Chains A and B, each alone.
Chain A
Amino acid sequence: MTDPMTRSTLMGCVATLVFLLSVPLFHSAYLIDVVTEILIYALFALSLNVIIGYSGNVSFGHAAYFAIGGYTNAILLTTYGWALVPSFVISILATISAAGIVAYFCTRLTDIYFAMLTLAFSMLVWAIAFKWRSATGGDDGFVGILIPDLIGDRTRFYYFTLILVTASVALLWSICHSAFGRTLVAVRENAVRAGFVGVNTRLMRWWAFVIAGTFAGIAGAIFGMFHRGMYVESAFWTQSATVLIMTLLGGMFSFFGPAIGAATLFILERITNEYTEYWPTVLGVVLLVILLFLPDGLSGLARRVHAFTTKNK
């Protein structure tokens, strides 16, 4: 996972980017909308993997930061009529502060306790979004987010999303592959030994949590503008679980895995909903298959298939 970018990964990235840049050329509004949303979820899932894949803790409340970013941006843009840039910056700062406080509590714990506490915090955010009706619209949602005309058109919004997501992913990549990222992996693999060589394991996990929260907030802010609305369901714990499944489906031991998982799950959901209302069951079965047969997700499967075919040549 901490290998420098290999040639095949690099080529994959370039090919993906070329495809993404050319999406509007197909002149399909449906395709643009689907890809925009996939980009948002991909960033969301990649951000979660900083906590899971790199620091080894499982957050069951990652949707909280997505929602905080989304709601703050919605309120500043619409209720207060701010310009996009300050609103976006303040939304990110709000997410960082919230994640910083929550991380202070959560990093005292590990394992199941960590998972449950992150879940409890996200439900606090959900409860506030649900009850603070005058600010958030309560369970009706925050409808009618005003966005600048510059990105008001579908194609322009698509490129806006693409630029922000690409920049965020590049930033995440360099963070995860820096000395910091490698230290995080050391903490994940053996916290006690990492502590012995002088790593402040709790501080490292705090940073991982805050970085993950920050990029989830960015994803949330874009999501709100894309849908012109934010809804309380975005903060509910089952949303956190869904993004967790995306991460696991793609593979948490690979940097780009979660993005692949997000795309796969999103497309699968669209297709399933054409045929049946029982998407949760399909999602549950997908999850069972990952847990029992694909412990390192699709990217791990690809690696194994690759290893198998090269061995048999």
Chain B
Amino acid sequence: METLVEFLRTGMASPGITMLLNNPNFVLIQVLNSVSMGMNFFIIAAGLSLIFGVLKVINFAHGAFYMFGAYIMYSVTETMGLNFFWGVVGAGVGLVLLSAAIERTLFRFVYDKEHLLQLLLTFALVLILGDFAKILWGTEQYSVSYPDNLAGATNLGITYYPSYRLLLCLLGPVIFLAMWLFIEHTRWGRITKAATQNREMLAALGINVPLIYTSVFIVGSALAGIGGALASPFNSPTPGMDAIVIVECFVIVIIGGLGSLWGTFVGALIYGFVFNFGSVIIPNGQDIFAFLILLIVLLFRPWGLFGRPEMEGH
């Protein structure tokens, strides 16, 4: 048996480091891998963070929503034979319907309850939705193909890079910008922000607060579904993927700070870089690196990079 130190040292001696030092193309590819992965995670985690910001509920079932998105993508493209775009649309619409039903029948009744109860309620959903997916799609691992016109590689001058991943690199910032503009510059966005501050006052001003809550939950959940659909070509839909993804999202939003859009964006990028460069430096060591970064951030800022310190209860 190797000790933990030996385990890390043999990893360090891997060809990854020399390649990083000697091959700029390799570095560029790793950077693009990190950004595209980070942006995919941003789309998912932004939904989680948005829901927490307004509803103050950490939704464990967000991972299950991601999984449903990926499965719907499979059904739309492989079973129904429609193209990739409709898969993404289908995942979004499917999750809107699913999350609206869940919000109306369950979540609605627990907003005033304590956080633990809400947290566990969402865990009950994880258990039930997992079985639901098993009933609908079985336990096989499905593969989803890349969209036809993005299946190849793009010439970046010094190197080729998969076009689909480049699209993700662009899509993340677009969604970030759209969310930011919406929250900061529209009436609905401002109302949503107000709902995070004082919902009683908002209701007294004649705003339909439950409607705001429903819409935020729907939008956040749809982002998880779309994120799952977009990830499906390289992260094959399979049972149990929900439990892994939700933890990765947690790491991202804790690093960035819960409820902060900027924080989620930066957290997702950090996660992408740590994961990819970590696995180059120590093969299979990526998870450990990701958690170490989390610890370092928390040592100095327990509430995350862009979060606000929690208030003491009275």
Q: Which residues of A contact B (CB under 8 A)?
A: 58, 60, 75, 79, 105, 108-113, 115-117, 119-121, 123-124, 127-128, 130-132, 134-135, 191-192, 236-238, 241, 244-245, 248, 278, 280-281, 283-285, 287-288, 291-292, 295
If A124-B288, A128-B288, A244-B120 touch, whether A287 touches B127 (CB-CB below 8 Å) is: yes
User: Residue A284 contacts which of B128, B243, B250 (CB distance < 8 angstroms)?
Assistant: B128
List CB contacts (< 8 Å) of B1-20 with chain A: 1-2, 4, 7
User: Residue B127 contacts which of A75, A237, A283 (CB distance < 8 angstroms)?
Assistant: A283
If A131-B288, A236-B243, A237-B243 touch, whether A112 touches B124 (CB-CB below 8 Å) is: no
Task: Answer whether residue B294 sits at the interface, using C-beta atoms and an 8 A cutoff.
Answer: yes
Q: A115-B119, A134-B7, A236-B243 are in contact. List 14 more A-B contacts (CB 8 A).
A: A108-B302, A109-B303, A112-B119, A113-B302, A115-B116, A116-B254, A119-B250, A128-B288, A132-B7, A192-B312, A284-B124, A284-B131, A287-B120, A292-B109
CB-CB nearest in chain B for A80: B1
User: Residue A117 contacts which of B115, B243, B254 (CB distance < 8 angstroms)?
Assistant: B254
Q: Tell me, in angstroms, the Cα distance from A124 to B294 when the chains sit together.
A: 10
If A58-B119, A285-B128 touch, whether A116 touches B312 (CB-CB below 8 Å) is: no
Task: Answer whether residue B136 sits at the interface, using C-beta atoms and an 8 A cutoff.
Answer: no
Interface on chain A toward B: helix, strand, loop, or mixed SS?
Answer: helix
A-B residue pairs in contact (CB < 8 Å), sample of 24: A75-B1, A105-B298, A109-B310, A111-B310, A120-B250, A124-B291, A128-B288, A132-B7, A135-B1, A135-B4, A192-B312, A192-B313, A192-B314, A236-B243, A244-B120, A245-B120, A248-B120, A280-B130, A281-B131, A284-B124, A285-B128, A287-B123, A291-B120, A291-B121
Q: Tell me, in angstroms, the Cα distance from A134 to B251 when the chains sit together.
A: 27
Closest beta carbon of chain A to B271's beta carbon, Å: 12
CB-CB nearest in chain A for B295: A105
If A105-B299, A120-B247, A281-B131 touch, whether A291 touches B294 (CB-CB below 8 Å) is: no
Residues of B within 8 Å of A130, CB to CB, are: 287
CB-CB nearest in chain B for A288: B124
CB–CB A113/B288 < 8 A? no
Residues of B within 8 Å of A135, CB to CB, are: 1-2, 4, 7
Q: Tell me, in angstroms, the Cα distance from A113 to B313 when the chains sit together.
A: 14
Task: Answer whether residue B258 sits at the interface, using C-beta atoms and an 8 A cutoff.
Answer: yes
Task: Answer whether residue B197 sits at the interface, using C-beta atoms and an 8 A cutoff.
Answer: no
CB–CB B116/A58 < 8 A? yes
Q: Tell me, in angstroms, the Cα distance from A236 to B310 when the chains sit together.
A: 28
User: Residue A132 contacts which of B4, B115, B126, B258 (CB distance < 8 angstroms)?
Assistant: B4
Closest beta carbon of chain B to A28's beta carbon, Å: 31
CB–CB A281/B287 < 8 A? no
Closest beta carbon of chain A to B56's beta carbon, Å: 8
Q: Tell me, in angstroms, the Cα distance from A121 to B247 when the chains sit together.
A: 11
User: Residue B247 contacts which of A58, A75, A123, A278 (CB distance < 8 angstroms)?
Assistant: A123
CB–CB A291/B124 < 8 A? yes
Closest beta carbon of chain B to A30's beta carbon, Å: 27
Residues of A within 8 Å of B284, CB to CB, are: 131
Q: Which 10 A-B pairs have the closest CB atoms?
A: A284-B127, A127-B287, A124-B291, A284-B128, A287-B124, A280-B127, A284-B124, A281-B131, A108-B302, A278-B131
Q: Tell me, in angstroms, the Cα distance from A110 to B310 when the chains sit together.
A: 9
Q: Tell me, in angstroms, the Cα distance from A75 to B2 when the chains sit together.
A: 12
CB-CB nearest in chain A for B2: A134
CB–CB A117/B119 < 8 A? no
If A135-B1, A237-B247 touch, whether A120 touches B291 (CB-CB below 8 Å) is: yes
Residues of A within 8 Å of B314, CB to CB, are: 192
Q: Tell me, in angstroms, the Cα distance from A281 to B130 when the chains sit together.
A: 8
Closest beta carbon of chain A to B314's beta carbon, Å: 6
Closest beta carbon of chain A to B63's beta carbon, Å: 11
Residues of A within 8 Å of B115, CB to CB, are: 111-112
CB–CB A131/B120 < 8 A? no
Closest beta carbon of chain A to B3's beta carbon, Å: 8
CB-CB nearest in chain B for A138: B284
Most B Cβ at <10 Å: residue of A112, A128, A238: A112
User: Residue A131 contacts which of B109, B287, B295, B299 (CB distance < 8 angstroms)?
Assistant: B287
Q: Tell me, in angstroms, the Cα distance from A123 to B245 when the chains sit together.
A: 12
Residues of A within 8 Å of B116, CB to CB, are: 58, 115
CB-CB nearest in chain B for A56: B116
Task: Answer whether residue B117 sits at the interface, using C-beta atoms and an 8 A cutoff.
Answer: yes
Residues of A within 8 Å of B124, CB to CB, are: 284-285, 287-288, 291
Closest beta carbon of chain B to A184's beta carbon, Å: 17
Closest beta carbon of chain B to A1's beta carbon, Å: 17
Closest beta carbon of chain A to B7's beta carbon, Å: 6
List CB contacts (< 8 Å) of B213-261 with chain A: 243, 247, 250-251, 254, 258
Q: Tell me, in angstroms, the Cα distance from A310 to B125 when the chains sit together.
A: 38
Task: Answer whether residue B162 sits at the interface, using C-beta atoms and an 8 A cutoff.
Answer: no
Residues of B within 8 Å of A278, CB to CB, are: 131, 134
CB-CB nearest in chain A for B109: A292
Task: Answer whether residue B285 sits at the interface, using C-beta atoms and an 8 A cutoff.
Answer: yes
Closest beta carbon of chain B to A139's beta carbon, Å: 12
Closest beta carbon of chain A to B159's beta carbon, Å: 30
Closest beta carbon of chain A to B257's beta carbon, Å: 10
Task: Answer whether residue B58 sits at the interface, using C-beta atoms and an 8 A cutoff.
Answer: yes
